[in-house]
């Protein structure tokens, strides 16, 4: 029997309804065999009852009994097939949790090689064979094994989802196009697939671009951290150098002060010691004379007393100490002079620091040109956009929203909403001027107030030597020299606006703690000519970064 089983082929033992090896096979009156469950279900769904193979109609549903011979042969074939599948385990593996199992296997389920979209089942190598050899099954559509094949069927019409509705963006069957999707834009599933795949490709490209941008941003931030650390290290080094020098200067001044005071005290002590020694010597001599006087006064020898008295009067006179004084030294001004010297050292160190600071802010130099669309009609702008002065005639210009119509002011073309920027303006020969930055939303019509509350951060010169920072309230500035060139530095994120006397490398004034939320524009006003005294122009100058 085992030899015969080796000659058995699968076809005689396949149910033509389920396409699997018979389970409880029964025979119809016309002689065809089916699984009992398959033919029973078929007849329950189809009236009148007929043979699925030869289409013979049975007016009365036949009584079905299991064909024991076919049943035994099918069981032997199934056992043989399972043994064959087990022996070829090197080619097929028992299904793993992430793999799709064969729906036709009984017992141990093998890994499916393909799924059938018509049968809605997945098959291993053995059970896939009919789809590869039988003419009727070759027409079925096979795909790589997938789970939940039922999801590929339309739940409403029980038909294969083979179309894509681009209107509703859902997969539909053919019958759906005659009902609720009748007027929609429907394309074959392949076309919809290719369209979506193209979209996915585009999306993937966009995602990669976003990833790249974020990686560049990470690099930018890391670079910013590096620059910040370099700046911090540089500031620490400069600070340590300056404070070390100051500390040494303080210690040196303190030592010199102590030495001066101690030297004066030593001289006083030496003087006093000399006077005391001389006085003690005179005291000793006087004691000796006192003793002689006492002895002579006790003598009763008249001749001896008179002769001795003459020699006693011949003794040298004592020194007059009435006006002799040991005066404590005057320390008045000693400490003050030491502190003044220390202040001079500190001033020199501050000057060095400011020179370094100015060089650093000059690294943030930006291109600045004047914007004629914002200039008051009486202002004269030079062709290069770098100079401005007040003319004698008010030009007939469009009164656009950007233009100042009352105050002789002008803004730069460039605006800044982040980072740092620096520019320099020559003010030589002027008796009045306004310089600074202004936010975009400032009032440019009529009279306005220069203050941070109104959107202006400026310093001004009035009457040739009055410098004022319009900080609200205004702050009068005391400058050691008159700036011929003013540097303007802004750190947007830090909220800082600083003004420098470029030639003196001195800080004029700083607005700190500012909160910027708009674009900032460099702001200029050459002010009135004052009868020709203030006719020199404001000139935006290139930065000369000295080594």
| Class of residue 33 by CB neighbours under 10 A (exposed 0-12, middle 13-18, buried 19+) | buried
Structure token pair of residue 287: 């004691």
Q: Which of 124, 119, 116 is nearest to 84 (CA)?
A: 124
Q: What is the DSSP string of 256-271?
A: HHHHHHHHHHHHHHHH
- Asked if residue 49 lies in contact with residue 61, where contact means CB atoms within 8 angstroms, the answer is yes
pLDDT for res 311: 73
Claim: this prediction has a pTM higher than 0.75 = no
Q: Which of 529, 538, 491 is nearest to 511 (CA)?
A: 491
Expressed in angstroms, the distance from the first to the final Cα of the chain is 106
Structure token pair of residue 340: 């003044």
pLDDT for res 82: 57
- CA 328 to chain centroid, in Å, comes to 68
- Asked if residue 92 lies in contact with residue 124, where contact means CB atoms within 8 angstroms, the answer is yes
- Asked if residue 19 lies in contact with residue 116, where contact means CB atoms within 8 angstroms, the answer is no
Residues 485 and 471: their CA atoms lie apart, in Å, by 21
Q: Which phi and psi angles does 112 have, rounded to 5°? A: -75, 140
Tens-place pLDDT, residues 48-68 = 778 888 888 887 788 877 777
Contact partners, residue 144, CB within 8 Å, separation at least 6: 114, 115
Q: What's the average pLDDT block by block, 10 residues per block, for the chain (547 residues)? A: 45 74 82 84 78 81 77 71 51 58 89 87 92 87 84 83 92 91 92 91 93 94 90 85 82 86 90 90 86 85 81 67 81 77 79 83 94 95 93 89 94 95 96 96 91 96 94 91 96 96 93 95 94 93 74
Residues 435 and 485: their CA atoms lie apart, in Å, by 11
pLDDT for res 318: 67
Structure token pair of residue 253: 């001044």
pLDDT for res 365: 95
Q: Which of 130, 93, 89 is nearest to 110 (CA)?
A: 93
189-298 and 302-313 are packed helices; what angle lies between their axes, rounded to 10 degrees? 150
- Asked if residue 100 lies in contact with residue 120, where contact means CB atoms within 8 angstroms, the answer is no
Structure token pair of residue 256: 């010199």
């Amino acid at each position: 029997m085992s030899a015969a089983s080796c000659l058995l082929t699968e076809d005689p033992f396949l149910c033509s309804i389920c396409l699997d090896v018979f389970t409880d096979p029964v025979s119809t009156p016309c002689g065809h065999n089916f699984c009992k469950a398959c033919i029973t279900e078929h007849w329950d769904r189809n009236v009148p009852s007929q043979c699925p193979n030869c289409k013979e109609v049975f007016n009365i549903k036949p009584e079905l009994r299991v064909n024991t011979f076919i049943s035994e042969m099918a069981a032997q074939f199934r056992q043989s097939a399972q043994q064959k599948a087990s022996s070829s385990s090197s080619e097929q593996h028992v299904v793993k949790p992430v793999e799709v199992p064969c729906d036709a296997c009984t017992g141990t389920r093998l890994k499916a090689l393909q799924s059938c979209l018509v049968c809605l089942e997945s098959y291993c190598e053995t059970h896939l064979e009919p789809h590869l050899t039988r003419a009727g099954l070759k027409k079925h559509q096979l795909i790589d094994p997938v789970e939940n094949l039922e999801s590929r069927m339309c739940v409403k019409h029980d038909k294969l989802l083979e179309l894509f509705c681009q209107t509703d963006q859902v997969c539909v069957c053919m019958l759906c196009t005659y009902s609720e999707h009748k007027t929609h834009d429907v394309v074959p599933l392949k076309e919809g697939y290719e369209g979506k795949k193209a979209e996915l490709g585009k999306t993937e490209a966009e995602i990669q671009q976003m990833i790249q941008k974020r990686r560049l941003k990470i690099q930018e931030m890391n670079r910013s951290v590096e620059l910040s650390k370099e700046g911090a290290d540089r500031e620490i080094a400069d600070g340590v150098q300056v404070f070390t020098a100051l500390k040494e200067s303080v210690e040196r001044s303190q030592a010199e002060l102590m030495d001066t005071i101690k030297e004066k005290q030593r001289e006083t002590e030496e003087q006093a010691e000399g006077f005391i020694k001389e006085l003690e010597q005179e005291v000793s001599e006087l004691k000796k004379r006192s003793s002689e006087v006492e002895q002579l006064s006790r003598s009763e020898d008249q001749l001896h007393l008179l002769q001795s008295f003459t020699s006693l009067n011949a003794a040298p006179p004592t020194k007059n100490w009435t006006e002799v004084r040991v005066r404590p030294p005057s320390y008045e001004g000693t400490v003050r002079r030491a502190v003044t010297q220390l202040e001079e050292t500190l001033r020199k160190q501050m000057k060095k620091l400011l020179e370094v600071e100015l060089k650093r802010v000059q690294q943030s130099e930006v291109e600045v040109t004047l914007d004629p669309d914002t200039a008051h009609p009486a202002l004269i702008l030079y062709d290069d956009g770098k100079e401005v002065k007040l003319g004698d005639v008010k030009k007939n210009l469009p009164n656009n929203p950007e233009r100042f119509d009352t105050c002789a002011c002008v803004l730069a073309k460039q605006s800044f909403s982040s980072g740092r920027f620096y520019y320099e303006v020559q003010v030589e020969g002027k008796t009045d001027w306004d310089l600074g930055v202004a936010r975009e939303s400032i009032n440019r019509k009529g009279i306005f107030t220069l203050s941070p509350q109104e959107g202006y951060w400026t310093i001004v010169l009035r009457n040739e030597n009055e410098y004022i920072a319009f900080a609200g309230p205004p702050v009068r500035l005391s400058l050691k020299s008159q700036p011929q060139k003013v540097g303007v530095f802004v750190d947007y994120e830090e909220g800082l606006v600083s003004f420098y006397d470029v030639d003196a490398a001195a800080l004029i004034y700083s607005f700190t703690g500012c909160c910027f939320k708009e674009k900032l524009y460099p702001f200029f006003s050459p002010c009135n000519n004052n009868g020709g005294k203030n006719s020199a122009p404001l000139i935006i100058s290139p930065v000369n970064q000295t080594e």
